Amino acid sequence: MNRTRVIFIVIIVAALALVGVAALLRTLNSQAGGPLVAEQRGPIQVRVLTALPVYDWVSQAARQFNAEQHTLDGNVIQVEIIAMDGLSALGKFDRDEFGALPADVDLQNLSDQQKAALARFPTAWIPDSRYLPELANVAYKERLGRDIFLTDGEYRARPIALSLFAWGLYQSRADALKAKVGDIDWQVIHDAAINPGGWPALGGKPDWGFFKLVVPNPRKNVGGLAAMVAAAGEYYGKTSIGTAEVTDPAFQRWLGELMGSTTDLGGGSAYTAEDFALFGYSAGDGGQLLEADLLKNMEGIQTRWGEALEIFYPTYVTWFDFPFTIWMGPETSAVEKNAALAFQSYLLSPEVQAQAVGAGLRPVNAAVSVDQPNSPFTRWASQGVAPIVSRTDAMRSPDRDVLLALLRWFDLNVGR
């Protein structure tokens, strides 16, 4: 056998060995529950659960993104936006309603039911605040033994916009209260709510009746819980609230008096600022709502009811940061995760961040300012809207026990 033939045979044997090793590694990876990997053909589908306050802005951005035909590895990315309140999404994750795969699943032998569930599995989640995916992550880590939402690295949760809770009162009501009692805060609102003399005793007109508070329904909008946490922060004079504080009988009595002045909160809408625009004074005299929702409805309120809201910022500020959070389990492919990253980058671009400002949101891109011509922050500056708000006294995120305690209290005392 000549030398050339020997070399040829050696090359053939080596190639066969490499093929065999690759096949063995694929088998071991499957048995170890590695990521779901398949050659991508056709559009890459990215499904994003999105909190209600940013839904309109993110949906508009997704329509632009899809129309521009962005691609990854030669495949077009198609983004689908699914509106879902943060608490509703957290509940679905907690109950595993999206159908996460078991930790020991064989990815190469999924049932038809599992495959059907994966076809609609969310690629990413934009909740109201970062504490929501952190709570979901705790539940999944106990169940699966791994993190499914990350706080560092390339796929970490990243805020895409900011907003905070502010007081919004009809101008006439705000003028009366300021003249009578001074600056607006939770204690002033509480005292106004329980005043037996109603608006005449508060410096207002008799036909205004009694003071009516507006806060979102906490069972329909995570903002309702945020408002109660902010009230607790001011009641105790601190930024961190635990279960001992929210279950204290004196605080619960005070909170009950406060929430007792709300208008039909048990059956109220999730979109409380919209109710201001639609129903005017019958919806309420004022309340603490998300600044973005207030700004989005300011023009409609002024047009329909002849006076705008005046905005006040509380001492203890509750911020929402709307983090873009990518699911890191094997239910979505690496290609889908990277496509989600591409859409995240698009949302953070200066052009799209400027659109966020137009929607009443505060940008996270430092190159974009709220002081743009015709932005709601500029237009409504005379009504108290501030371009910069101190975060010194920002309320810390509540834990699961605090949320459950407040929801239980609400169900027993207000939501029935």
pLDDT tens-place string over residues 285-318: 998 999 999 999 999 999 999 999 999 999 889 9
44-161+321-348 and 163-320+386-413 in the same fold: yes
What pLDDT was estimated at residue 110?
82
As a whole number, mean pLDDT of residues 194-201 equals 93
Residue 94: half-sphere exposure toward Cβ, Cα within 13 Å: 10
pLDDT > 70: what percent of the chain? 87
Name the DSSP class of 95. T
Identity of the residue numbered 415: G
pLDDT at 41: 60
Whether 352 contacts 186, CB under 8 Å: no
Residue 414 pLDDT exceeds 90: no
- Indicate if the pLDDT at residue 268 is higher than 60: no
Tokens for 119, please give them: 């076809």
- pLDDT given for residue 190 in this prediction: 92
The total number of residues shown for the chain amounts to 416
Among 50, 2, 416, 44, residue whose Cα is nearest residue 222: 50
Give the pLDDT confidence of 207-257 residue by residue, as tens digits: 999 999 888 888 888 888 888 999 999 999 999 999 999 999 999 999 999
- Angle, helices 171-181/186-194, rounded to nearest 10 degrees: 100
Contact 290, 273 (CB under 8 A): yes
- Range in 170-179, 377-386, 405-414 with the lowest mean pLDDT: 405-414
State pLDDT tens for residues 107-165: 788 888 777 778 889 999 999 999 999 999 988 888 888 889 998 899 999 999 999 99
Task: Report the range of poorest mean pLDDT among 22-31, 209-218, 325-334.
Answer: 22-31
- CATH architecture for residues 44-161+321-348: 3-Layer(aba) Sandwich (3.40)
Q: What is the pLDDT of residue 156?
A: 94
pTM of the model: 0.85
CATH 3.90.79.10 fits 163-320+386-413, yes or no: no
Label residue 5 by pLDDT band (50, 70, 90).
low
Domain residues of the chain, as ranges? 44-161+321-348, 163-320+386-413
**Angle (CA) 266 83 272, round 5°:** 35
